[in-house]
Structure 1
Amino acid sequence: MSTESSAQAPTAALLIIGNEILSGRTQDANLIFIAKYLGGIGVRLREVRVVPDDEAEIVAAVNALRARYTYLFTTGGIGPTHDDITSECIAKAFGVPLIQHPEARRRLEAHYADSGLLNEARLRMANTPKGAVLIDNPVSTAPGFQIGNVFVMAGVPSIMQAMLTGLGDRLAGGPPVLSRTVVCAVPEGTLAAGLGAVQAEFPDVDIGSYPAFRLGQISTSLVLRGTDPVRLDAAAERVAALVTDLGGTPEIAAG
């Protein structure tokens, strides 16, 4: 069970683009980093979608998500190959032409100056929608870009992380999201009714229940998330008391 703790906080969606993700050939490694980073600056990641390298699907998803959330982040599809179509799709979503960004080209020319490897394929990485602002790439030079509330980043994890953490004051956040975890050996079904009562008492705290089997034993992690540390600690104590009342031994940890 879960409830959104702060309706006024900035929200975000993540659009993961790539046939390789949907085929299972590549495992996405960006979601966890993005969710934790955004939570740390007080932006709630509310939705994640995965779409193939298909123009119509990318355009539709971009327009739906950018209208619904404060920010939209995309990963993947801005490389030099034929199936890297994200830049074109973002331009179509915004109804603006795709151009070769002069500063992006300059950066690529400088990066490849001594290698002779700059070709038409690599120059595709300088293409952005008209009016876009570049997102720096300190790892491999080829930039991402921002247009409106949409931030277009690489799919390679090390590059994506450098791009995201370099956005600085472009993202207006809120209070950081804090968390507490109560671990116990009480089954979810036994906890359900009492946990619902605690959630009703603390509507400003998100409470999630996550069961597992560890060393052949039932284990339930009760994760509480919120922005007010006093309310968060109070809710965690109530959950711990519930576990104790049900014959369990709670263990409380931050994070």
Structure 2
Amino acid sequence: MSETATPKVGTKTACLLVIGNEILSGRTQDANIRAVAVALGAAGIRLDEVRVIPDVAETIISTLNTCRAHFDMVLTTGGIGPTHDDITAPCVARAFGVPLERHDETFRLLEATFAPGTFNTARQRMAMLPKGSIPIPNDVSAAPGFSIGNVHVMAGVPRIMRAMLRSLVPTLPGGAPLAMASWHSDTLREGDLADALSAVQDEFPALDLGSYPYERPDGRRGVALVAKGFDSEQVRRAGARLRTVIEGLGAVPIEGEPPA
């Protein structure tokens, strides 16, 4: 696979921290990265990096401080529930050098959600946010994520994370949405296209150009060429060049992604 690019000047960048021992051990498969990437791309924000880190306080704090200094924004998933290993909120507080304190509005919302006598100490922990945080609401559960500075903390449970993402993304500073052009051929292989694709990349250094081989159950095998970027006109032009690359090799270009 070939995929290199330089971000367009002015495009906001983001890093996603996936926090959880269960991801690293293989017990749980992450189901959030693609949703975050798609949502950010549609908002004109480039997801430049994803890091998967354990539920270890010093690792979370050091990684968060490194990333929030390097990227325009950092999103996190995981570690904001009621159990002993849900340590993301206190770690974010330590990273920012602020106390963890009860967020009264969140406390009242949670208290009203649970049946009388069940809003125990563990559940009350979900109302403890770093001082100065702004809650990220969701329409699935009463427990919010939160934003502080350029850091946005969300749940790891996919259904809840997506609800928080829907609330968060419209508030983020973005730009033109990610544009994409794609052509494929059922008769070519990556090796046939490598040199020509490198030449097109040189023409459009601000775009992501990728070649993606595919093989389908019915025996069809080929390669898809994709141009992506936040300048729709450049993407359109690059897409036209990808089509001519396929034609120049004597194959029939088919627009779009290959059917599953």
Asked if these proteins are the same fold (TM beyond 0.5), I'd say: yes
Alpha carbons 1:135, 1:144 under 8 Å: kept:
yes
Tell me by how many angstroms 1:218 deviates. Answer: 3.2
Task: Letter of the 2:5 partner, please give it.
Answer: T
1:175-201 per-residue CA deviation (whole Å, 9 max, x = no partner) reads: 111111111231111211111111111
Alignment of 1:127 with 2:128, yes or no, is yes
Q: Which residue of the partner structure matches residue 221 of structure 1?
A: 224
Tell me by how many angstroms 1:204 deviates. Answer: 2.9
Indicate which of 63, 76, 90 corresponds to 1:88.
90
Per the normalisation by structure 1, the TM-score is: 0.95
Indicate which of 235, 242, 246 corresponds to 1:243.
246
Task: Letter of the 1:27 partner, please give it.
Answer: Q
Unpaired runs of at least 5, structure 2 = none
3-state SS of the aligned residue for 1:223?
strand
Q: Which residue of the partner structure matches residue 154 of structure 2?
A: 153
Hey, what's the Cα distance between the residues in 2 that align with 1:178 and 1:24? 33
Hey, what's the Cα distance between the residues in 2 that align with 1:15 and 1:131? 21
Higher mean C-alpha deviation, range 197-206 or range 123-132? 197-206
Aligned pairs (5 A) from 1:37-56:
37-56=39-58
Indicate which of 233, 236, 246 corresponds to 2:236.
233
Distance 1:115 1:180, change over 3 A: farther
Task: Letter of the 1:206 partner, please give it.
Answer: D
3-state SS of the aligned residue for 2:209?
strand
Q: Which residue of the partner structure matches residue 211 of structure 1?
A: 213
1:3-53 per-residue CA deviation (whole Å, 9 max, x = no partner) reads: 134132011010000011111111111111110000001000000000011
3-state SS of the aligned residue for 2:159?
helix
Tell me by how many angstroms 1:228 deviates. Answer: 3.0
RMSD: 1.6
3-state SS of the aligned residue for 1:204?
coil
Higher mean C-alpha deviation, range 125-134 or range 216-225? 216-225
Per the normalisation by structure 2, the TM-score is: 0.93
Distance 1:7 1:228, change over 3 A: closer
Aligned pairs (5 A) from 1:1-255:
1-112=3-114, 114-167=115-168, 169-184=170-185, 185-214=187-216, 215-253=218-256
Alpha carbons 2:43, 2:169 under 8 Å: kept:
no
Percent of aligned pairs with the same amino acid: 50
Tell me by how many angstroms 1:67 deviates. Answer: 0.7
Hey, what's the Cα distance between the residues in 2 that align with 1:129 and 1:210? 43
Alpha carbons 1:236, 1:252 under 8 Å: kept:
no
1:140-186 per-residue CA deviation (whole Å, 9 max, x = no partner) reads: 10111111000000011111111111125530101111111111231
Hey, what's the Cα distance between the residues in 1 that align with 2:169 and 2:201? 35
Higher mean C-alpha deviation, range 195-204 or range 164-173? 164-173
3-state SS of the aligned residue for 2:4?
coil
Higher mean C-alpha deviation, range 160-169 or range 33-42? 160-169
Give the number of equivalent residue pairs: 254
